[in-house]
Amino acid sequence: MPSAIGASRNITLPLLTGNDEFVFKNHIQTLTNKTLDSTNSYSGVITSSTGNGVTIALPNIDTSLGTTKNLSVTQTITDTATTAADYYPVQMEFEYLANDVTDPFDLASAGLHATTTYGSGGIDAKGTTQTGTFNVKILGSSSANSETSNIMGWTRNVAEPASMWFLDANMHGPTVQPGLFTGLDIFMNNHYNGSPSRNTSNGIGIYTKYGSGGGSDASQDTSQTYPIDIGLIISGSSGVASNGANNGFNTGIQVGGFGGAWNASGTVSKIGTGVKLLECVDNCIDTSSQGTLTGYVLKLPNDGLIGRATTGNLSWNSSDALTIKAASVKSVHSDGSEYDLEAMRPDVKKFGTWYGSSTSNAEGILNGRMNTIAVGTGTNAGGSDSTGIYRTYDTAATINSIAGNRTDSTYMMRINNCLFKAAIYLNNNVNVRVFAGFVSDANAPTSLADPLNAKEGVALWFDSAVNANWRRLHNDTSGASVSDDTTVAAATATRYTVEIEAVTDSKFVFRFNGVNTDITSNIPASTTGLAYWIYMENTTGASRTFRNYYVIIRNDK
């Protein structure tokens, strides 16, 4: 063997066996395509970097030569043991100790860090790249309990306050229109007609359960768990500031339809049940904290619109039937008054109506139970104008004349959630008294400054000699009535709607001029029979007039 080789030489080496060594000294040698053993190969340059790290620089390649795997690790694992052992074909362990980082938000360790630079900026790069590709191919497994996972990992923190993410994936789109822009896509095909044997199949699962989960510490397996604030959160905004003024997502959740990376426009989508909500503890759907809505809280097809944000109205225009089961179902009229829909069911509630067409003819439980109030020589007549269809009651000129209408039976009760509703209109508001509401008296009223004195009742009341405003009058038969000021002036040429309803046998709700007031004291007893009065009394020797548009009553049971 020569002591030195001055120029390139081709040397045929003998077979190396045992512990024999072949050494080159004081020369830089390049070994190309040398087979080191039967299972491993390497082509490249290994250079030491600063510190204790090692840099492997793979050679640049031209893919036209057919090279597809720059660094390949292959291994066949055969295990015939009865208990499977843990095998890690490639194991990388990083233990990072950092105790002098000036900013805790600085990136301290990235573990396994893979970066693919797509194109050079000056070259129009085309094709699809995948920075990390993890494939599992199952060729033999007889047990449904055997499990495979393309990516499995865990993060464990027993008693440290550090912030935690399991997966932090970030995307920043281009300033030109991309072909696709999707965050996390999971494409799945089920090739078995049915569910898996162990549980239901699902695309995305978010779970929490005591004593479960991979990678937990032994102390965490027996440590109490607590609710997580939000299972799935979709939140954000867009614009030119961190608190942008524009939508972060135009649609928060879409079920069905087309879109994303796999379902192109026009693709037919069929979903069995759009949303199923089970075992809700607080609210299945909570829309109480809304921003400025321009649409509806719930919008149905065929213009069946439910719950406009600005009014809370219910609109049902589809051909389907609407079935609602509730203690009380109400519709709101344009004047703000409420109407009980369930009262139209005689098997549920007894309902009566009078709409001013005659002096006493009525429908439902008002039929045959109405009388005209005519204390003195009062008169009444039908009429209609832009304010509606009404009946006019005139007290005539005799002082303390009373005109109006009433029921002659005290069959309504607080325990049966009795309801009274009427609309009235004052032609005169001087030298008058006006009453509209419940009273525990089946007879006609008499001239009194306190018509509920020593009686039980709840009513709308006005006495021009006492106050210019409408008042709430109520009593439980113990002496004089309680009179509360509504602060609403009793004006002429104004239509007023009043509704008085007993609720849950504990109170009366007084609805007047868009304001609801609970009356819980000095009210009729639970089983006291109640009739109603609607009348005007003159307190001077001159005719006084008012209109009554309708009367609605209801009594449960």
Does the structure show a pLDDT above 90 at 512?
yes
- pLDDT recorded at residue 420: 97
- Give me the DSSP letters along 260-315: TTTB-TT-----S-S----S-SS-SS---S----SSEEEE-STT-EEEETTT--B-
Q: How far is CA 257 from CA 99, 274, 428, 509, in A?
A: 52, 11, 63, 47
- Per mean pLDDT, which of 245-259, 319-333, 415-429 is the most reliable? 415-429
- pLDDT recorded at residue 310: 46
Q: Mean of the per-residue pLDDT values for the chain?
A: 83
> Which architecture, in CATH terms, is 342-556?
Sandwich (2.60)
Measured distance CA(115)–CA(491) in Å, rounded? 80
Contact 523, 414 (CB under 8 A): yes
371 beta partners: 406
pLDDT digits (tens, 9 = 90+) for 8-47: 566 666 666 666 666 655 555 555 544 444 344 444 455 5
Q: Which residue has the higher pLDDT, 431 or 27?
A: 431
Could you tell me what percent of the chain has a pLDDT over 90? 45
Q: How far is CA 161 from CA 28, 106, 109, 231, 509, in A?
A: 53, 17, 18, 21, 53
305 beta partners: 299
Which range among 251-255, 281-285, 440-444 shows the weakest confidence by mean pLDDT?
281-285
Write out the two tokens for 36.
């080191």
Mean pLDDT of 166-195: 91
- pLDDT recorded at residue 309: 46
- Measured from the Cβ of residue 353, the count of other Cβ atoms closer than 10 Å reads 17
- pLDDT recorded at residue 329: 61
- pLDDT recorded at residue 320: 47
- pLDDT recorded at residue 326: 55
Does the structure show a pLDDT above 60 at 245?
yes
pLDDT digits (tens, 9 = 90+) for 120-132: 888 888 888 888 8
* pLDDT band, very low/low/confident/very high, at 220 (cuts 50, 70, 90): very high
Residue with tokens 């630079």: 117
Using DSSP bridges, classify how beta strands 531-538 and 402-407 pair: parallel, antiparallel or unpaired. Answer: antiparallel
Mean pLDDT of 434-462: 97
pLDDT digits (tens, 9 = 90+) for 138-178: 898 888 988 888 888 889 999 999 889 888 889 999 999 99
Q: Where in the chain is the domain with CATH 2.60.120.200?
A: 342-556
Hey, is 341 helix, strand or coil?
A: helix
